[in-house]
Amino acid sequence: IPWRSRRNLPYPPGPPSKNYLSKNTSDISVPYVWCRYSEWAKEYGSILYLRTFGQQIIILDSLEDATELLERRSKSYSSRPIVPMYDLMGLMQASVSMRLYGEEWRKLRRIFQQAFKSDSSLEYRPIQTKKMHDLMYGLLQTQEDLESHVHTYAAAIILSVIYGYNVALNGDPFVKLVESTLEAFVSAGSPQWSVNSLPFLRYIPSWMPGAGFKRYAESMRLEFVKQREVPFQYATTSPAALEGAHIPVVPKFINSCKSDMDIKILMEAAGSGYGAGVGTTASTIMVFLVAMVLYPDIQKKAQEEIDCITKGNRLPEYSDQIHLPYIQAIIREVIRWKPIVPLGLAHANNDDDIYKGYFIPKGSIIYANIWSMTRDPVKYKDPEAFDPERFLTETGDLNDDEVTYAFGFGRRICPGRHLGAASVWLAVATILASFNVEQKKDGSGHLIPVGVKFTDKGVTSSPHGLQCSIMPRSERAKQIILECRGEV
């Protein structure tokens, strides 16, 4: 944009910097920062501009603005900001979700697109079903550590689909390997790391006092390399991966690799699936469990819908999906009620732009405040309440609101959403068919507090510490699970 035409155009409004710059750094890492952004949007307008040391942040509070900039103008708005901590960990050149917009990202995205587009994702349903049976069996064995059961389910699907690897139900070495980096992956983008707000800090030598972040980043960089290489090696050499009924993503795509660079890209695409796909799927299922404990009437209604179809004699299957609108409405409400990536992933724009009379400088860090969109009072009455009915028409059919915006925008929209949504659907329908999820009682029959906390580490917000009882609905329900596993 020529200097002349942007002259006199203001930046979008925003709070004075003293409201968000703390004493030492440009720290805007207040808890649940998306709520703060949302309050500011009410005060200053739906496009917010925050200026911190050397960084300009734009926050889009409404779906309309996010759709216009991140989708319709996505040619300019599809890059990612350079986050020093990710860069030091080597992730800016090793993870689809961090890559800057460009040729490498396009190649990576193409692999994802082919492997996980809507109809390709259908291929993975037998794997999802098998892993669901494992989850059900696990829940029959022990209700302790529910989070770990759910996490294993999500990890088992991704590792099998991508690498053809079958996880052990407890303490699997591959799961441990990839988990070792997950915390770093999720939190590296956070302003809790001073270097993210003061990028020049990255140049201080690692041995210096105060450079602990550099030593940490280096150790994580090596872990990330191992995490990509070890499962990849397995997928390309192990007979178990190469000779199963399903050909996993890595062996399937390796034949079209023509150079070492192509192999590196495939390894990166494969590795990105785990980091981006496991925690998100598992957290969504955990939010569903929280909702079921808090809203027993909704749970009962959902169970009745499923019983009508299965007659209590089998587990629900994917082919039942279209006959179960209430289950689908519950899932949409889970995604809306507690969006697990409340600010999405930051986009960055490669060009200056003008929007609604404001100047948007290139290189801005752009967040879509998904959390705020899920609280749109016009669309969602009483937004804090968990109410699946808001996604149903008067005749009980699903309406058009699929809450797709919770999966991001434009060219960067989550490429794993079909796989993720199918894993979540199966978990939700099967748990409802087989178990009652209720508030736990102590020895003397008193209700134990639900105890759940939503963390806000880095870019995700996920529920932890849920205390609940999850018991088979009947002897028959238990027997069906055992039959599916071939145990009876």
Nearer Cβ to ligand HEM (86/213)? 86
Minimum gap (Å) between residue 178 Cβ and ligand HEM: 13
- Give the list of residues 6+ apart from residue 294 with CB closer than 8 angstroms, or none: 386, 450
Comparison of 140 and 330: residue with beta carbon closer to ligand HEM: 330
- Rounded to a whole number of angstroms, the minimum distance from the CB of residue 108 to ligand HEM is 8
Distance CA 56, CA 37 (A): 15
Residue 463 CB, shortest distance to ligand HEM, in Å, is 14
**Which of 72, 441 has the CB closer to ligand HEM?**
72
55-60 and 365-368 strand pairing? parallel
Cα dihedral 171, 176, 177, 180, rounded to 10, equals: -160
CB of 208 to ligand HEM, least distance (A): 34
Distance CA(171)–CA(176), nearest Å, equals 7
Task: For residues 397 and 228, give the distance between their C-alpha atoms in angstroms, rounded to a whole number.
Answer: 43
Chain residues that interact with ligand HEM, rule: CB under 6 A:
96-97, 109, 112, 116, 272-273, 276-277, 280-281, 284, 340-341, 344-345, 347, 406-409, 412-417, 419-420, 424
First-last CA distance in the chain: 71
Chain-centre distance of CA 192, in angstroms? 21
Q: Which residues define the annotated binding site for heme?
A: 414
We find the least distance from the C-beta atom of residue 298 to ligand HEM, in angstroms, to be 21
Please say which residue, 151 or 417, places its beta carbon nearer to ligand HEM. 417
149 vs 417, which CB is nearer to ligand HEM?
Answer: 417
Q: For ligand HEM, which is the closer residue by CB, 316 or 416?
A: 416
Closer residue to ligand HEM, CB minimum distance, 309 or 413: 413
Q: Which is nearer to ligand HEM, 139 or 335 (CB)?
A: 335
Distance in Å, CB of 370 to ligand HEM, minimum = 7
Instruction: Provide the token pair at 484.
Output: 């599916």
The answer to whether 164 and 238 have CB atoms below 8 angstroms apart is: yes
- Nearer to ligand HEM (CB atom), residue 77 or residue 213: 77
Q: Which long-range contacts (CB under 8 A, 24 or more apart) does 73-78 make?
A: 73/353, 74/409, 74/410, 74/411, 74/412, 76/349, 76/350, 76/351, 76/353, 76/362, 77/347, 77/348, 77/349, 77/350, 77/366, 77/410, 78/347, 78/410, 78/411, 78/412
C-alpha angle with apex 343: 190 to 152, nearest 5 degrees?
75
User: Shortest gap between Cβ of 324 and ligand HEM (angstroms)?
Assistant: 18
The whole-angstrom separation of Cα 12 and Cα 60 is 10
- At closest approach, how far in Å is the CB of 115 from ligand HEM? 8
CB neighbour list of residue 219: distance below 8 Å, 6 or more residues apart? none
Nearest distance, CB of residue 188 and ligand HEM, angstroms = 15
Binding residues: 414
Closer residue to ligand HEM, CB minimum distance, 370 or 477 = 370
State the number of CA atoms in the 13 A half-sphere of 213 facing the CB.
22
| Shortest CB 459 distance to ligand HEM, Å | 8
